[in-house]
Structure 1
Amino acid sequence: MNISEVVKQTGVPASTLRYYEEIGLIKSVGRHGLQRVFSPKILDHLALISLAKTADFPLSEIIAMFGDNNTPVIDRDKLLNKADQIDESIKRLNIMSKCLKHAAACKAPSHLECPSFRRLMKAAILGKLEGTYPPSVI
């Protein structure tokens, strides 16, 4: 497959494909004139890269997910660790969402007069959102 076919089938820009090749994340199998040529396996490879990026794995860790022969070597413990990180992010974002909704509906004349909003501000500056609000708010 030439690079334009890969772009068409995956939506990954050619510049990204060239960058991925430059850093060793993908490999072309050769060239046809000036265009890079890829194995059809590149589609699965790019799908795995996209999945890993969606899960917020850094490129350095994504590179490590591929063995010497470019086959996936995925550490299950890293997957579980990343899932735990995502769960924590979801928990934190849910609390933030509920707090913001509460602040938006608060009847206090000013948000700075709302005790719940003030607790949210204090927790935010201390980096401790969990446990800030009573169960009725979160």
Structure 2
Amino acid sequence: MKFLDIADVARRSGMAASKLRFYEEKGLISSVGRRGLKRLFDPGVLERLSLIALARTAGFTLDEIGGMFGEDGRPRLDRVQLSTRADDLDQTVRRLSALRDGLRHAAACPAPSHMECPTFQRLLRTAIPRHVDQGSPPIRR
């Protein structure tokens, strides 16, 4: 079997060698040895790095990602955890879509000032969560 040195893994994965060393330190990946001063990795590390990158993009923490691998190093994905994260992403997409639509409206709004535009005013009210200042009355939406 041909092992990949850290430079090869960095090049193929698009990740900096420092990130690979950090992931190894966190126990997310492991080298199989060294060639001189360079760490060597099994080629399967690229698939593992793809899974890590996908999970990071989905918003999982490194600790959560670490829990996605069994003792044997194989992925063991919790379907409930994945479903919950997908629901969170749906909420984020809805919130960002509303923000995008509000900004597009503000860009084309015929009101003399954005501060006179009811749509922009609604957008402003969503910018600060209601729970920030518990001493103030809730903002009406």
Common fold, TM-score beyond 0.5? yes
Between Structure 1 and Structure 2, how many residues are aligned?
A: 129
Which residue is equivalent to 1:91?
Answer: 94
Which of 74-83 and 117-126 deviates more? Answer: 117-126
SS of structure 2 residue aligned to 1:18: helix
% identical equivalent positions = 50
- Residue 124 of structure 1, CA deviation: 2.4
RMSD: 1.5
TM-score by length of 2: 0.86
Q: Which of 112, 123, 126 is equivalent to 1:123?
A: 126
- Residue 114 of structure 1, CA deviation: 1.1
Q: How has the CA–CA distance of structure 1 residues 52 and 126 changed in structure 2, closer, same or farther, with 3 Å as cutoff?
A: closer
- Residue 125 of structure 1, CA deviation: 2.5
C-alpha distance in 2 between matches for 1:117 and 1:14: 45
Q: Which of 23, 42, 46 is equivalent to 2:45?
A: 42
Gaps in structure 1 of 5+ consecutive residues: 133-138
**Deviations along 1:76-108, whole A, 9 cap, x unmatched?**
111101110111110111111111111111111
**Deviations along 1:29-88, whole A, 9 cap, x unmatched?**
111111101111101111111111111111110111111121111101111011101111
Which residue is equivalent to 2:136?
Answer: none
Q: Which runs of 4+ in 1 moved over 4 A?
A: none
TM-score by length of 1: 0.87
Which residue is equivalent to 2:35?
Answer: 32
| Letter matched to residue 97 of structure 2 | N
